[in-house]
A and B are shown apart, each in its own frame.
Chain A
Amino acid sequence: MSGGNPARVLLVGGDAALAAALTSAGYSIVRAAEEDDLYALVERDKPDAVVVAAESPSRDVLEHLALLNRKHPQPVLLFHDGSDEAVVRRAARAGVSAYVALDLPPAVLRSLIEVATLHFEQTRALRQELSRVQRAQAERRLIDAAKSRVIQTLGLSENDAYKHLQVQAMNGRRSIADVARELLGAQGAGNEED
């Protein structure tokens, strides 16, 4: 930020990467864990804003602070001035919850929320990609196990065993992984992985 003191942001339960992103965007960051005494922290540091995951249980403590004193940061989703509707909704969808002092300049509010939203969206995308990869690996192991089973029981070659699974999948309009899961399950083997 140019001129004046940087806005002080209390980051509750957030990760180091978000703290770094906010610091390099010019904010002064105080980090707190979920179990910290937020009453004491807000009284002591008088943050201009608080950023927290929407699904953090500490949200209700921040709501209490907001109701106790209108000078404490207020929930953005409820008390923004309407000009930032799209930004605020996108933040809510990304799982960001922000509380800001009502005298925080709108430009500062907007940039704070944008940095946090971007971080949450990237983290979520990474997590989804990771679970997609893990699921694909699990399915690969399942299909390999089913293939070995078919090789053993039907005495087929590796290629033919795979074709055997493929044909069953096509006939039943199911995925090969589903066929593999059923085949292993029916013979009392596979523990289904999620």
Chain B
Amino acid sequence: MKKIRLGFVRLCDAAPLVVAQALGSYAREKVRVELVPLASWSEVRDRLIVDDVQAAHCLAGIPLAAQAGVFGPQARLATAFTLNHYGNAITLATSLAGILRSGKANFVDYVRNRRREGRPLALASVFPISKHEYELRHWVASLGLDPGTDMRLVVVPPPETARAMRNGRIDGYCVGEPWNTRAIREGWGEAVSTSAASALPGTEKVLAVREEFLDTAEHAAILRALASACEWLCDPSHVEPAIELLAPYVGRSLAELRPSFDASFRCDFVAPARVPFVRFDRAVHRPDLAHGGWYLEQMRAAGQIESDADVDGICARAFRADVHDRHLIDG
């Protein structure tokens, strides 16, 4: 089999890709894999399109948006494997979280005052077409605020969140780990919501590929390796070895990585979640077309795709549950 370049972004939910390499899961499936760190979701998408990486840890929204034509005619990306459900949180600057703690009405007043003073709140996500973006919009709306007019929604690269908060360019953000825990541990931010505690569909990262790669033996081998790595990750006794493997790839400390995996992530603003902070278990891997449909509805509401887009067709081309079944169930 050909050597496969596998892209990932330095985040906790890249764990399955990293663990599969360290445990020899790819080798057992007879596929050689080179892990390629990438710096942005745009870079993930572009390197997939030009076939510089053959598969990648990717936001679920990207293959959907690609099939909807948002990225031009040549971006034919798809996924046959969901890596995880959940894994994000919303973090606000400590002072702002304090206002929210004093009462929802106070918080709403404060946000509207800022807007009237001509310096509206700025909340960041990591990419305009992402669960983070829609999670943020829903959270804002749940407070009775309008995300479009009561504040600015911007994008900030996760490693820049600390600096952007400190110099006042943003007031909060929705991002994956370890970038919430970093703020909490350093004392300048506080988590006010988590994806696991919200009622929104859970699909978060997927393994994205070009359509041409879907039916290859290498793709099937990688999916089997990832499924076994995910199973290994779900054993609570593997938390410590997993974060030790992951730390050099993410470039952050064990203490910052741990809360994502050992249920110690703290968020006082939501009822304790019924589900883990992030889920890698077997039940999440098959692409969920209902979740895909939900993403496309969010894109439509945000004006990112046409209002008459063929949601079912786009979803069926991007979320290839049939390929998942062929490689992992029938295979």
Residues of chain A having any CB pair with chain B under 8 Å: 34-35, 37, 39, 54-64, 67-68, 75, 77-79, 89, 92-93, 97
Contact = CB atoms under 8 A, between A and B. Distances in A.
A57 B128 contact: no
A68 B39 CA distance: 22
Nearest to B126: A60
Residue from A37, A61, A89 having most chain B Cβ neighbours under 10 A: A61
A63 B46 contact: no
Given A67-B128, A78-B74, A61 B46 contact: no
A176 to B, nearest CB: 28
Contact of A79 (B43, B72, B128, B169): B72
Contacts of B38: 55
Nearest to A39: B154
Nearest to B152: A39
Contacts of B50: 77, 89, 92-93
Most buried by B among A58, A63, A64: A64
Interface size class of B (residues with CB under 8 A): 20 to 34
A61 B156 contact: yes
A58 B41 CA distance: 10
- By secondary structure, the A interface counts as helix
Given A39-B154, A64-B128, A59 B42 contact: yes
A45 B6 CA distance: 38
Interface string B25-52: 0000000000000111111001001101
B174 to A, nearest CB: 14
Contacts of A68: 128
A75 to B, nearest CB: 7
A63 B160 contact: no
B75 A60 contact: no
Interface of B: 38-43, 46, 49-50, 52, 70-72, 74-75, 126-129, 154-160, 163-164, 169, 304
29 contacts: A34-B160, A35-B160, A37-B169, A39-B154, A54-B43, A54-B46, A55-B39, A57-B39, A57-B157, A57-B159, A60-B126, A60-B127, A61-B154, A63-B42, A63-B128, A63-B155, A64-B127, A64-B128, A64-B155, A67-B128, A67-B304, A68-B128, A75-B42, A77-B46, A77-B49, A78-B49, A78-B75, A89-B50, A97-B42
B155 A60 contact: yes
A61 B71 contact: no
A143 to B, nearest CB: 30
A93 B52 contact: yes
B72 A59 contact: no
Nearest to A79: B72
Contacts of A93: 50, 52
Given A55-B43, A58-B40, 13 more contacts: A34-B160, A35-B163, A54-B46, A55-B38, A56-B39, A57-B157, A58-B157, A60-B127, A60-B155, A63-B127, A75-B46, A77-B46, A78-B71
